[in-house]
Structure 1
Amino acid sequence: MQPDARLLEGESRPPSAPEELFSSFYRQHYWLVLAFAQRRINNHETARDLASETFRVAWTKFEQAEQLGLAFLYQTCKNLIGNEYRRQLRVAALEVKLQHCPDRGTSDEHAARLREAMLGMRDAERETLYLTYWEELSAQQLSEILGCTVEAAWARISRARKSLKHILRSEVPNA
């Protein structure tokens, strides 16, 4: 049996750079986190995405993640799985709603009115609605993108919705 070439080349030293430490942390825990996700999600690709996202979060908080170890990774993954379940419920609810749409022509007309109303909004309000409803960002994520507090993000969402309602109501012909 031959000795491991890495040991002969001096790679037996403990990792020192944060990237090396994280790489070691990742190799040590990735398969455990993936198995954790797969037991809770019935789609292998989604489980892989969740495991990857778990380590992305761990990288941003690596000192804390390294100290907490596998427990931190499991909790992070559990939170991400909850987000995935909520996303799946929203998609299912939308599919049911679309299936029960009485008249496709009416729906197309409504979509066209909505697009026109969105174009009539200020850019900042329109972007807030796009990020919130089309990109499905939380107020926390929106606040990070906009560079404001979560409370300010909620206020911007509220103002943008009021503006859209006002535009849509003003476009409705009086019968």
Structure 2
Amino acid sequence: MSAFVYRRVGDRSAAEEVTAEVFRIAWEHALGGGDSSAGRLFVTARNLLSNHYRAMARLRELHGRIGEELDRMPAAVQDSTVLDTLDRLPAPHRDVLLLSYWDGLSAAEAGEVLQCSAPAVWVRLHRARKAFREIYTSPEESA
């Protein structure tokens, strides 16, 4: 079974993990009185391999997105000013702006995170933009 999985994964560690999971599932299935034939093991392995491939694809996508974000880190003074302005905003305003613009969430998705409705997110976003604009355009206060 391990060789079957290894030929498809190409990584010894991942193959061992998937194989262990195959036998764990087979053991649980056998304890319940189910079929634990070799064919069943290969079907289980194939299903777990599909899950593994999807997880690896999501991980590659996440790494790509992180790399893109790092490439867009602020280098200009204007970018630094934007980040400073965000830091000076109250947390609720900063949160809704970051969820909407940085994370790219829709109003409904941001509402789930903020535990409010989509229309409430739009209101919060309007107020946060206004607060951002006021801080960004006003001269920095002396401490």
Q: Flag structure 1 segments of 5+ consecutive residues without an equivalent.
A: 1-32, 118-158
TM-score, normalising length: structure 1: 0.45
Deviations 1:134-175 (A, max 9, x none): xxxxxxxxxxxxxxxxxxxxxxxxx98742156693366132
Q: Flag structure 2 segments of 5+ consecutive residues without an equivalent.
A: 75-79, 96-107, 131-143
2:73 equivalent to 1:73: no
CA contact (8 A) 1:65 1:73 kept: no
Query: Where do 1:96-111 residues align within 5 Å?
Result: 96-101=64-69, 102-103=72-73
Task: Give the paired residue count.
Answer: 95
Q: SS at the partner of 1:65?
A: coil
TM-score, normalising length: structure 2: 0.54
Identity value in percent = 20
2:109 equivalent to 1:163: no
Query: Where do 1:114-125 residues align within 5 Å?
Result: none
Structure 1 161/71 Cα, relative in aligned 2: closer, same or farther at 3 Å?
A: farther
What residue in structure 1 maps to residue 17 of structure 2? 49
CA contact (8 A) 1:38 1:44 kept: yes
Q: Highest Rg: 1 or 2?
A: 2
Aligned mates of 1:160, 1:54 — CA distance in 2? 36
2:2 equivalent to 1:34: yes
Aligned mates of 1:161, 1:84 — CA distance in 2? 29
RMSD (Å) for aligned C-alpha atoms: 3.3
